[in-house]
């Protein structure tokens, strides 16, 4: 993601205007464990800033539908997200917005996680 030097001010403005949450989008082009973990770490770091501002972050690490070995990328992504979710305090709630997986019910563990308030399908 590009640097966001004015994020705190924008989050305050959003909260004062009754906004529920905001998202930051990253795109995964190949199934790289290190790369996917870095993307998820970045998403959750910004997500925690959004939580601290009183909003709900929409975590959106998109797996490109043209990704070679898309199912493997989804497996790595699910593991990385689950690990980050397990590190959250019970009052740190997030939404997840992910590409439809290759396998039905693949993200069920994420959907049912107590820190996930909504799970949204990315239509791309």
Residue 90 annotated in active site: no
Residue 97 annotated in active site: yes
Q: Where are the beta strands (DSSP E) in the chain?
A: 21-28, 56-63, 94-99, 116-122
- Among candidate residues 60, 62, 74, 78, the one labeled active-site is 60
Nearest in space to 40 (alpha carbons), one of 7, 73, 11: 73
- Among candidate residues 30, 37, 97, 102, the one labeled active-site is 97
Distance in angstroms (rounded) separating the CA atoms of residues 103 and 100: 9
Please list the active-site residues: 60, 97
């Amino acid at each position: 993601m590009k640097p966001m030097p004015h994020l705190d001010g924008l989050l305050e403005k959003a909260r004062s205007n009754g906004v529920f949450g905001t998202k930051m989008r990253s795109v995964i082009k190949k199934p790289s464990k290190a790369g996917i973990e870095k993307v998820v770490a970045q998403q959750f770091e910004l997500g925690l800033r959004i939580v601290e501002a009183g909003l709900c972050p929409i975590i959106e690490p998109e797996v490109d539908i043209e990704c070679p070995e898309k199912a493997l990328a989804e497996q790595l992504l699910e593991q990385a997200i689950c690990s980050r979710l397990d590190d959250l305090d019970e009052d740190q709630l997030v939404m997840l917005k992910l590409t439809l997986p290759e396998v039905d019910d693949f993200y069920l563990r994420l959907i049912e996680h107590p820190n996930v308030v909504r799970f949204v399908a990315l239509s791309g």
